[in-house]
Amino acid sequence: MRNRGKAATVVAAAAALVLLAGCTPRDVETSPTGDETSAPIELVDALPAGTTEVDEVTWALVEGEPRSLVPGADYNFVQPNLCASLLRVQPDFTVEAGIAETADWVDPVTFVIDIRPGVTFWDGTPVTPQDVVYSLERHHSDVTSAFYGAFVLVAPEGGIEVTGENQVTVHFVAPDSTFRDAIAGGAGAVLSRAVGEAQGPALGTSGGELMCAGPYELESWTPGSEIVTVANEDYWDGAPLVKKLTYRFISDGTTLTNALLEGEVDGAFNVAPGSRSAFESSDTGRLVIGPSTASFSFGPTRDTGAGANPLIRQALSLAIDRQQYISTVLHGLGQPQSTFVAPFSWSGSSAADVYQAGYDALAAPEVDLDAAKKLVEESGEDTSVPLRLAIPAGSKELSQTAAIVQSAAGQIGLTIEIDERQPADFAAIFLPDPGPRENIDFVATTGYTETPGVLAYPQLFLLPAEMGGIFNWTGYSNPDVTAGLEAARTTPDATGAAEAYVGAQEIFAPDLLQVTLAGSYHTTFLSDELSGVVTSVAAYSSPWAQHLGGK
């Protein structure tokens, strides 16, 4: 799970600790808008590949300036175009070959990676098995890496080793149904061992160097201003059509909207839903809506107080009109979601039918004020004590979210106070120290998973802390849920893993460790002169600009 907000970068990093979890024209699918009076939205996961070369494209980063370009140290849309991974997440959330020609299980606890011959880093040096071992060990041996959780079942000694001229083998202490998907994202990105060891802590920072094997190479980084990348003409899968891709840091939504509409920048992801009408009426670019795993939600922050009581969470859920929420906050660019794992998460799985059937069996969100009031009464909580909901300062969508939750609470006899926190203070909520959470009952966030799989969110909130439940602040404990999630990870058979997960989901979904308000779509604005970008949530983990070019 990742959090989009700059203020909550810590959430993204922590969540990834247990993330188990070439652009071509794609078929379009339709999805509801969340507004029953509107026509279904066409969801596009990738635009047709560009056909002509372009000297330079300017791309805006609404998330702001990255802290690092090293996979596992930060999350941004720059890194996937720089550091190619062993496997690649496709726009439709399937997984295909990347730097690895093949990468798969040869038995339940042995994973073999065969490196594609002839792949080179930007400086022309070959990608070797030693580089792959170095890159994977960065996460396996470093608990601070955002991808550490993907390697927890790798054998602690000799778990990752060179076993051939172009081969690396990974040994596990137990089967891991999530590992292959994980290395299709940042967990499988390959860095130069020589440059990495020489750079040390400076690796991938604005003052250091980076050496990867992606379609673009880093040319310069001007702190506070821009990052400039240039096409890797020797990229194994073909040189990009855009010869210079410059990233500008524009975190203010209004400023970004104006820059896009006036042609000052050519494109951006995660553009503000509030600007939907302006984007759709533009005569210089177009808004593209893609499938996503992202969702808006709020959840409890401690094991005491009314927020820790599942009856209170269930009551609040019943008091919130999801259709109104999607219309008001997302301007129709989303859909109701029955639990905190979005259906797109399993869309590329061979067991997708099992996951979907389990999801469809869940109770859909509904509004029932009478039932909500009854739950409040049954909870035994003192309703004269206000509940505090924390949000990050400057987030229009989460500010609107808090107002809607506050209004709904008032209709069922509860009082919500909104606690707006500055970036550092908001980020501190998600650190191990419980201090910043002691005087709040809920925190509102928006997050996503960037590689296929269903276990990221549940493990964070449902497992014991010592097993990776770093956001299990209520002390939630259900042996059947724990056993089901463990079985879902360690069952090699895809159908068996899906059945184990669905069984656990049936139990934990009603407990609402996160009250999911809506799934949100992936939004992209792009100049009419360009095409070829990935427009689904896969842009977070794949070389989304590889096929960007002129129309």
pLDDT tens string 472-482? 999 999 999 99
Task: Report the alpha-carbon distance of residue 530 to residue 416 in Å, rounded.
Answer: 46
Strand 267-269 relative to strand 442-448, pairing: unpaired
* pLDDT tens figures, 101-156: 999 999 999 999 999 999 999 999 999 999 999 999 999 998 888 899 999 999 99
Residue carrying structure tokens 């920048």:
265
Task: Report the alpha-carbon distance of residue 331 to residue 117 in Å, rounded.
Answer: 48
| Mean pLDDT for the stretch of residues 342-366 | 97
Q: Which residue has the higher pLDDT, 31 or 265?
A: 265
Q: Which residue has the higher pLDDT, 406 or 19?
A: 406
Task: Report the alpha-carbon distance of residue 337 to residue 70 in Å, rounded.
Answer: 33
Q: Of the candidates 420, 448, 419, which has an alpha carbon nearest to the alpha carbon of residue 518?
A: 448
Contact predicate 27/42, CB 8 Å? no
Average pLDDT of every residue of the chain:
92
**Which residue type is seen at 210?**
L
Q: What pLDDT score does 40 carry?
A: 80
For residue 466, give every residue at least 6 positions away whose Cβ sits within 8 Å of its Cβ, in sequence order, or none.
none
Q: pLDDT class for 394, splitting at 50, 70, 90? A: confident
| Mean pLDDT for the stretch of residues 455-459 | 91
Task: Report the alpha-carbon distance of residue 242 to residue 150 in Å, rounded.
Answer: 33
| Mean pLDDT for the stretch of residues 73-89 | 96
* pLDDT tens figures, 197-238: 999 999 999 999 999 999 999 999 999 999 999 999 999 999
**Complete DSSP assignment for 17-47:** GG----------EEE--S-TTSPPEEE-SBP
Q: What pLDDT score does 31 carry?
A: 58
The per-residue b/e assignment along 302-322, b for 16 or more CB within 10 angstroms, e otherwise, is beebbbbbbbbbbbbbbbbeb
* pLDDT tens figures, 478-518: 999 999 999 999 999 999 999 999 999 999 999 999 999 99
Task: Report the alpha-carbon distance of residue 210 to residue 437 in Å, rounded.
Answer: 37
For residue 283, give every residue at least 6 positions away whose Cβ sits within 8 Å of its Cβ, in sequence order, or none.
none
Contact predicate 529/551, CB 8 Å? yes
Residue carrying structure tokens 């109701």:
336
CA 518 to mean position of chain CA atoms? 15
Give the CA distances from residue 369 to residues 89, 96, 190, 549, in Å, rounded to whole numbers and listed in that order.
42, 47, 53, 52
Which of 57-61, 182-186, 456-460, 509-513 comes out lowest in average pLDDT?
A: 456-460
Give, rounded to a whole angstrom, the gap between the first and last alpha carbons of the chain.
34
Q: pLDDT class for 81, splitting at 50, 70, 90? A: very high
Contact predicate 312/18, CB 8 Å? no
Q: What pLDDT score does 546 carry?
A: 98
Write out the H or E segment, with its range, that includes residue 189.
Answer: none
